Amino acid sequence: MQLLTNALDFINSQDAVDLFYYFWFFLVFDFSRYVLADTFFLMVYFFKKKKNRPVRVDARLRLFKENPLISIIVPGKNEGRYIPELAKSLNRQTYKNIETIIVDDGSDDNTFKILRKLKNEGKIDSIFRNDVRGGKASAANLALMYSNGKYVVHLDADTHLKEDSVEQIIIPFYMDSSIGAVGGDLRVKNIYANLATSLQSIDYMKSISTGRVVNSQLGILRIISGAFGAFRKDVLDQIKGWDVGPGLDGDLTLKIRKLGLKVKHEPEAVCYTSVPDSFIKLIKQRYRWDRSLVRFRLRKHSDLLSFKNRNFNIFNFLTVVDNLLFNMVMNFKWWIYIFYIIFLNPKFIAIIFVINYLLYFSTNVIEFILATKLYGKTMRFQEYMLIIFLPLMPLYHGIFLRLIRTYAHIMEIIHRSSFEDKWNPWKVSKVVKKQRF
Amino acid sequence: MNIFIIDEKKITQIGELSVVSISLKEIKDNPPLESEIFIVNCENKKYAKAACEAIRRDTNPAIYLKPIILINSNENFTINNIADGYFTIEQTDALNNSFFPASYGSINQRIEEIQGFKGVKDTNIALKVLRYIMTRKMSLTPFRGSGNRFGLYYPNIDIFMRSKDETIYNTLDFLEDQNLLSQEFYEKVHLCIHCNSSFLNFMEVCPHCGSADLEDDDLVHHFDCAHVAPAKNFKQNGSLICPKCDKELKGLGVDYDKPATVFRCNSCRHTSQNPDISTTCFHCSTVTEPEDLQKRKIKKYSITALGENAAIHGIDQMFIQILDEKIKILPYQAFKILLSSEIERIRRYDISKSSVILFQITQSEQFYAQLGKRTRQIFSEIGDILNSVLRTCDITTTINEVTFISLLPETDSTGADVALRRLKEKFSVLIESNFEKQIEINTSSISLNKDQDVESVLTGVIENATAN
Ligand SMILES: [Zn+2]
Ligand SMILES: [Zn+2]
Ligand SMILES: [Zn+2]
């Protein structure tokens, strides 16, 4: 309380310009980008959604009338235990004309036995097995090789779908023929496993669901998640499938954009996925994700930033800039901000910290409310209950994740260490590291 | 030394060895019991095979157990497997007199150990098998060969049987169940569900349409670009060029590998990695999935101590011990003495009527084949039946484990028939509840009168035995 009173006194005692000096980071980046922009673009989304209802109904009718085959491809290693639940959710789909292709990428457990059993029971259609692990990209490419569908839906093994998710993720293709890929909305399956999964659940609601809807509106969606993403088969064939990871999902998305096709996020296509259930696993996952940013945006797809590029497209440019800005640059700016505050006025650190905390907390509340609105009918009771964890979010988001990100960026730039990641088998990393980018 | 040779040329001398020549017909009609070794000349293979069969299918242990030696054979002659020894044409020329007793004397010694066989016929295949193994001190090992539907067979005991059905396997199972033989796993065979043949064609077939017209190809994974496709998609003029990134592949394990094999169906174009397997029987063309095939363990057998005992004294002794717990079974010789004194009593006083009845289980091979582990229980129940129908003053013996003869004093032919009918009724119930295939019962009865003697009574009762 005392601190809060002090904080108010502090604010009152400063003029607007000084306040900006103290809180420029929040005002410039987070507030404008996440509160103002998100609110505005979500409103636009809701408005458009309402307006597009008839178009959507018509698209759905045309989808069911044409009834194209849809290939569901699921690569994975040692994930056999998840497949029965996934297969069950696929067999319950409202859209029936699907084929399920599962790739066992060199599992050394009973995965293949489980797959064989499911296949014999007719619950999945095809299984392929690599005796030696080839990595996620090659497993997905193997499945793609034998996909017969007009559309290919890539799923992670540890997910399951809502019963109408396949139709929901395909409908956008029938609303706009220039769409090349559609991302599904990821929801957390193990929300209450522990604190780590609960905090990630909120994060998923805000940044993944809301963030992707907004980016999708802006035409700057930069990633179709491999956990649940749908692609036109002809497009995948044209770009010849996935390239070596990490970050292969974002990489593929950018390749599709380079063809001049749109990528969309579809919040109504719901996919439940497991998130890392310990902070250690979470750190490892985030570390991997954050490194891949530098690698693909800055090195492999630097042509998107070049105005001299013949295929230059302002949206692709913005996609990369947004991503770089709000991840990499902002991250380094944040450190500058910290040093700036310490240097500028060390005696106010506690007060500034509290005020920042309150600002970020309110941001989180606003974002949570927006997410709730976005989820609409698909919002579950357990997701409402996440509200009790909101006070922890500024620390989780502002400090915990930021530390990981900073470390990852530094490591990637200095060491190119992502090539040695366990993500790829050593045989692949070794070859890829020798390549130029 | 009595060495008989069966051939067409009437040889009397092989090298330094003097032999007695005998024809195939003589072997069948009047086999020489004194023979210690049978030599079979293989110059005519058909004739030689028939000679071996004639010897081994005889029912007299003095004949069927005797060593058979082939001369003028060759390495690949299938009959070699059933003989106790064989000599190729070159070896035959070098034979001498001292060779045979040293190698084959021990078999004759063991044949001698089989007590009281003189004049007794071994019609029981189980006993023949047991005695054969016992006299050879061998373990019965299956041979591989296409002459038998299982692909694995026991030539030296198969020859006991004319028919090539499963009797011999059931007999071995029976002997194992009775602990007369011990088994050791040899091999497992898959058999056609329809005809039990093991000659099956295993084919990879398309899981989609069932066609066997599949083509297999290795998948190639290019590490650089994560492209995965069948090897044929990569091939261009001898070197592998990646169709995704157009790079030439350097080497297996360097920048690519082959993680799996795929099968493409030429009928329906379906590709899979795990084709189904289907089996087609070469005999009867039945198509089956491998998991539905019959499986049979083929075993290697050795004789047990109990088996040695049964080989020497006869298998019937074992069953009689079980029966003995329920009803007193007299030894055959003792029964004959009592029968002769009863005949004498009737002859002297001529005031009462007595009868002799016979009760016999037919199809004894079927009976044994189906007995299995229930032998003790079933023989115990047979004992109960005999005990409940016969009176304590009646005396019973057996001439083998499936033929019972009883003397019913002070019983006329009507009384004897009543006893037989009751035995039959009770036995039918036992058969119906324990056996799948029909087992029939032969009976006969004879009334004693003063003009008979023991032998004529026994011969009469045995010869009159019919199903009615
Ligand atoms: Zn058959
Ligand atoms: Zn086919
Ligand atoms: Zn390549």
Give A53-106 pLDDT, tens digit per residue. 999 999 999 999 999 999 999 998 899 999 999 999 999 999 999 999 999 998
Residue in B227, B255, B272 closest to A431 by CB: B255
What distance in angstroms lies between residue B114's CA and the mean position of ligand 3's atoms? 81
Chain A residues touching chain B at CB-CB below 8 Å: 106, 116, 126-132, 134-135, 137-142, 145-146, 240-244, 248, 427-428, 430-432, 435
Residue in A126, A132, A431 closest to B259 by CB: A132
What is the predicted pLDDT for the residue at A436? 45
Higher pLDDT, B261 or A346: B261
Q: Which ligand is nearest to the CA of B247?
A: 3
pLDDT surpasses 90 at A399: no
**DSSP H or E run through A83:** helix A83-91
What distance in angstroms lies between residue A252's CA and the mean position of ligand 3's atoms? 16
Using alpha carbons, list the distances in angstroms from residue B268 to A178, B209, B210, B338.
34, 7, 9, 84
The least confident of A34-38, A64-68, A94-98, B62-66 is: A34-38
The least confident of A124-128, B74-78, B117-121, B371-375 is: B117-121
pLDDT surpasses 60 at A422: no
* Helices assigned H by DSSP within A108-194: 111-120, 136-145, 165-175
pLDDT surpasses 80 at A8: no
Tell me the domain boundaries of chain A: 54-278
Q: Which ligand is nearest to the CA of B293?
A: 1
Residue with tokens 């979470």: A282
What is the predicted pLDDT for the residue at A148? 92
The superfamily (CATH) of domain A54-278 is Spore Coat Polysaccharide Biosynthesis Protein SpsA; Chain A (3.90.550.10)
How many CB atoms neighbour CB B141 within 10 A?
Answer: 15
What is the predicted pLDDT for the residue at B201? 93
Q: Testing the interface with A: which of B206, B221, B244 to mutate, by most A Cβ within 10 A? A: B221
3-state class of A383 per DSSP?
helix
Chain B residues touching chain A at CB-CB below 8 Å: 219, 221, 223-229, 243-245, 253-255, 257, 259-260, 262, 271-274
Q: B226 vs A241: CB contact, 8 Å cut-off?
A: yes
Amino acid at A104: D
Q: What is the mean pLDDT of residues A273-278?
A: 90
pTM of the model: 0.61
Higher pLDDT, B12 or B366: B12
- Helical pair B167-177 and B125-136, crossing angle rounded to 10 deg: 70
What is the predicted pLDDT for the residue at A207? 76
Q: A116 vs B272: CB contact, 8 Å cut-off?
A: no
Q: What is the mean pLDDT of residues B60-81?
A: 86
Q: B227 vs A240: CB contact, 8 Å cut-off?
A: yes
How many CB atoms neighbour CB A46 within 10 A?
Answer: 14
Q: How much of chain A, in percent, has pLDDT values that exceed 90?
A: 36
Long-range contacts formed by B276-280: CB under 8 A, 24+ apart: B276/B204, B276/B205, B276/B206, B276/B207, B276/B210, B277/B202, B277/B203, B277/B204, B277/B205, B278/B202, B278/B203, B278/B205, B278/B210, B278/B212, B279/B190, B279/B192, B279/B200, B279/B201, B279/B202, B279/B203, B280/B200, B280/B201, B280/B203
What is the predicted pLDDT for the residue at A437? 43
Whole-angstrom distance, CA of residue B456 vs CA of residue A403 = 113
The least confident of A124-128, B67-71, B402-406 is: B402-406
pLDDT band of residue A180 (cuts 50, 70, 90) is very high
**Scanning every residue of chain B, which has its alpha carbon at the shortest distance from the alpha carbon of A148?**
B270
**Scanning every residue of chain A, which has its alpha carbon at the shortest distance from the alpha carbon of B255?**
A431
The least confident of A224-238, B271-285, B432-446 is: B432-446
Q: Which ligand is nearest to the CA of B264?
A: 2
Q: Please, are residues B365 and B357 in contact by the beta-carbon 8 Å criterion? A: no
3-state class of A278 per DSSP?
coil
